Structure 1
Amino acid sequence: MNNPNSPLILQIVGYKNSGKTTMLAALTKRLKQAGYTVGTAKHDAHDFTMDTPGTDTWKHQEAGADITAISSASRSAIISKRPEPLSDLLAHMRHVDIVLVEGFKQERYPKLILLRSPEDFPLLELTNAIMTAAWPNADAEPHLLPAARFEINDIEGIYSHLLKLLQPIQK
């Protein structure tokens, strides 16, 4: 069921090896099981390779194309040789119920902040922190944290809290 309104956007932010990708994948699976349509976006601090050498789209990019699009009966992709702002990426996801964004820390969307250690506490100063998921050794003073606090492996608790944000989109 497509969302007639804008999708809910939730950023999952944390420092390297805090569990962002694992959290995003677990929440995606849980949301899909419940019947939601889910988009995902990731910010990569390094250069990445998405296309497989030898494929036609790889050949297009290798030949120097600045942007390459491919579509089949079941999926589509766009490869661009320039960074895209999150807003441009989200423009391709208007048809989903929720978009889970990995990274893009400085954006202003609601955030689930992953805390692995006390050194991660500066993340709590980011705009729009609505919940945290902490590793056992990341004990912060409760007054520093948003009201919605979870252990890192409490996927069901985080999912249940996310459902409250998704209430206008009943499944």
Structure 2
Amino acid sequence: MRRRRQQSQKCLKNIRSSPAVCQIVGFKNSGKTTLICGLIPLLRQRGCSVAVIKHDGHEFEIDHEGTDTWKQRQAGASAVAITSGGRTSVIQERGSSLAELIESFAEYDFVLVEGFKQERYPKIVLIRSEEDLNILSGTSHIIAAAMWNSIQDHPSLLQNPGIRRFDINEKAELASFLWHQRSYFQNFNI
């Protein structure tokens, strides 16, 4: 905990009040998870603590049959938590809003959100092909696009000069952009 606090002070200096929140959105198999996994170590190298929230459009199972927490849920517990010296997991039999989840990660410097397209936080959209371009018209608060080489000069992208464009392989540049814009992400009013 002490180390995380020291890293946080290095990342956001003394401007902390809430985490810097950025959504990573795109269609299925567009590379959202891969991009986030590439950004995490780059932000950590800058001294930032990073939390991730992933939206799943389907029911998911994170617990495993036979574990104590699984048995407790099967017996009717509405929520279970398990904790050790270095890890905690909470499973609740209810959905949570993005705002609730972000609030629970208030101690982190960055919260990268995978999905939740309709929420109103700043977004980086992933564009793999021409078919993905319609995400630009149906999504709010886009600040950047990470895209594959074949689509980068498409006319509809050129019509959106306020959107920073990155090649999908430019993870270091994208992490630098996030880091330099962290105050914007932190103070964004929804």
Q: TM-score of the superposition, structure 2-length normalised? A: 0.83
- Larger helix share, 1 or 2: 2
Note if 1:152 corresponds to 2:164. no
* CA distance in 2: counterparts of 1:146 and 1:52, whole angstroms: 45
1:62-101, aligned counterparts within 5 Å? 62-101=74-113
Establish whether residue 132 from structure 1 lines up as the match of residue 145 from structure 2. yes
Q: % of aligned pairs identical?
A: 41
User: Matched residues in 1 for 2:112 and 2:148: separation?
Assistant: 20
Which ranges in structure 1 are unaligned for 5 or more consecutive residues? none
Q: Distance in 2 between matches of 1:119 and 1:130?
A: 20
SS in structure 1 at match of 2:57: coil
- 1:35-70 deviations in Å (ceiling 9; x for gaps): 101111000011211112221111112222221122
Q: Do the aligned partners of 2:22 and 2:113 also contact (CA within 8 Å) in 1?
A: yes
**3-state SS of the aligned residue for 2:151?**
coil
Identify the match of residue 60 of structure 2 among 27, 38, 48: 48
Runs of 5+ consecutive residues of structure 2 not aligned to the other structure: none
Runs of 4+ in 1 over 6 A off after TM superposition: none
TM-score, length-normalised on structure 1? 0.91
For 2:119 and 2:25, the matched residues in 1 are separated by: 10
Aligned length: 169
CA distance in 1 between counterparts of 2:36 and 2:119 reads 17
Paired with 2:34 and 2:141, the residues of 1 have a C-alpha distance of 22
8 Å contact from structure 1 (residues 131, 147) kept in 2: yes
Aligned to 1:5: 17
Q: How far did 1:86 drift?
A: 0.6
